[in-house]
């Protein structure tokens, strides 16, 4: 690719494509070697979508400490969902067992 890139005009579409691939080479190698790396960040963006949609509601957490607790709950709920656990059932169980 390096040899071929030297023969292409940097402003041509193929030249731009080759330059892009060469600039991203380390990331592409990591992606192909790892096997667990995602090709995009759609999962992360979907997870953050609820946070963005609820910004006006979060004004009513009452304080910075309340916001931190809210963030912890969002993290816990997100982790439950990623592991195929019903967050509501999990929280009900935990809250019923904690007083014991």
Does position 22 have pLDDT exceeding 80, yes or no? yes
Interior angle at CA 54, CA 50 and CA 59, nearest 5: 145
Rounded-to-integer distance, Cα 46 and Cα 84, Å? 16
pLDDT, one tens digit per residue, over 69-80 is: 888 888 899 899
Provide the residue count of the chain.
100
pLDDT, one tens digit per residue, over 31-88 is: 788 777 777 888 888 878 877 777 777 777 778 788 888 888 888 998 999 999 999 9
Taking the complete model, does pTM exceed 0.95, yes or no?
no
The pLDDT, as a whole number, for residue 46 is 84
The pLDDT, as a whole number, for residue 5 is 65
Beta carbons of 80 and 87 less than 8 angstroms apart: yes
Rounded-to-integer distance, Cα 27 and Cα 13, Å? 21
Structural domain spans, the chain: 2-34, 42-97
Task: Give CB contacts under 8 A, 24+ apart, made by 13-19.
Answer: none
């Amino acid at each position: 690719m390096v040899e071929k890139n030297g023969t292409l005009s940097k402003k041509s579409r193929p030249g731009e494509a080759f330059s892009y691939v060469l600039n991203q080479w380390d990331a592409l190698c990591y992606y192909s070697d790892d096997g667990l790396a995602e090709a995009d960040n759609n999962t992360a963006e979907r997870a953050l979508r609820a946070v963005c949609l609820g910004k006006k509601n979060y004004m009513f957490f009452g304080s910075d400490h309340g916001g931190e607790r809210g963030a912890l709950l969002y993290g816990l709920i997100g982790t439950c969902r990623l592991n195929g656990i019903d967050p509501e059932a999990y929280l009900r169980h935990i809250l019923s067992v904690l007083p014991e």
